Amino acid sequence: MKALFDKVSTATSKMVTRSYSTSFSLGINCLHNKFHDAIYSIYGFVRFADEIVDSFHEYNKETLLQEFKQDTYKAIERKISLNPILNSFQTVVHEYNIEMPLIDTFLRSMEMDLEQQNHSADSYKEYILGSAEVVGLMCLRVFTECNEELYQQLKPASMSLGSAFQKVNFLRDLQADYQVLGRVYFPTINLDQFSEAEKEQIQHDIQIDFDDALKGIQLLPLSSRFGVYVAFVYYKALFTKIKSLPSSRIMQERIRIPNYQKISLLASSYLKHSFGVL
């Protein structure tokens, strides 16, 4: 019975999400229950692709990624996959009419991680589009429940939110990306002499994304608004902490938000959401 296999597949995506990200798991829990499985499934898909290029150093990453890519296309075409992550993802693709170009663009960004270590201004924009902005659009397809007019209205803000999240990740992971993976995502900066001026310029760019994103969050349906806002608040808190630290500190450690602060942020976010003062 495929219904049972689909249930197991979704449970697998949920387990992956909770194992890899406490912040996104908390955010998902703040969405309406009807969205949980779909967002778990999207996260599981993008997490597995990201793990291939970031973590499996002792294996042939190019081969693994190409196999994952082809298996993704087969799963969507056949409406089934024996890979439970891909099986749950293809279900969401069909249910919410997620466009293939979004999936193609995401997978292309994963390929970029294997092809280049430094980015120009153009490749930086291309990478953020594929690795973050289109993922936000996949989630927006779910949140707008096939309402094309609402999707188009909220599309720019959703892309800004994904962009803000990714750029904060880049700053948070600056040391590991450079020293372990040999990657420099931000264009035209020298991480051997990462300056306060360079950090300020990056932060200015991120702040614009956050400001644009909040305008869209305020227009989301109630069923998804609180959950997305919680994720926004978590990342904004991380961003605020990073801004308070010198550039030299960013290159020495991975900045985190402790769990007790996340709980406090969750409570304050709920109050703001309840009183409509996002």
8 Å CB contact between 39 and 139: yes
- How many of the other CB atoms lie within 10 Å of CB of 259? 11
Spans of the chain, pLDDT less than 50: none
Among 228, 237, 224, smallest CA distance to 265 is for 237
Q: Give me the torsion for CA of 35, 266, 216, 151, rounded to 10°.
A: 0
Domains and CATH numbers, the chain: 2-274 (1.10.600.10)
pLDDT of residue 213: 97
Cα–Cα distance measured from residue 178 to residue 164, given in angstroms and rounded to the nearest whole number: 20
Cα–Cα distance measured from residue 151 to residue 143, given in angstroms and rounded to the nearest whole number: 9
pLDDT of residue 233: 95
Query: DSSP for the chain?
Result: -HHHHHHHHHHHHHHHHHHH-HHHHHHHHTS-HHHHHHHHHHHHHHHHHHHHHHH-TTS-HHHHHHHHHHHHHHHHHHT--SSHHHHHHHHHHHHTT--HHHHHHHHHHHHHHHH-SB--HHHHHHHHIIIIIHHHHHHHHHHTTT-HHHHHHHHHHHHHHHHHHHHHHHHHTHHHHHHTS--B-STT--GGG--HHHHHHHHHHHHHHHHHHHHHHTTS-HHHHHHHHHHHHHHHHHHHHHHTS-HHHHTTS-----HHHHHHHHHHHHHHHHTT--
- Digit-coded pLDDT (tens) for 56-111: 999 999 999 999 999 999 999 999 999 999 999 999 999 999 999 999 999 999 99
- How many of the other CB atoms lie within 10 Å of CB of 86? 25
pLDDT of residue 234: 94
Cα–Cα distance measured from residue 266 to residue 245, given in angstroms and rounded to the nearest whole number: 24
- Digit-coded pLDDT (tens) for 23-32: 788 889 999 9
Cα–Cα distance measured from residue 231 to residue 10, given in angstroms and rounded to the nearest whole number: 21
Q: Give me the torsion for CA of 260, 206, 46, 175, rounded to 10°.
A: -70
Q: Which residues pair with 26 in a beta bridge?
A: none
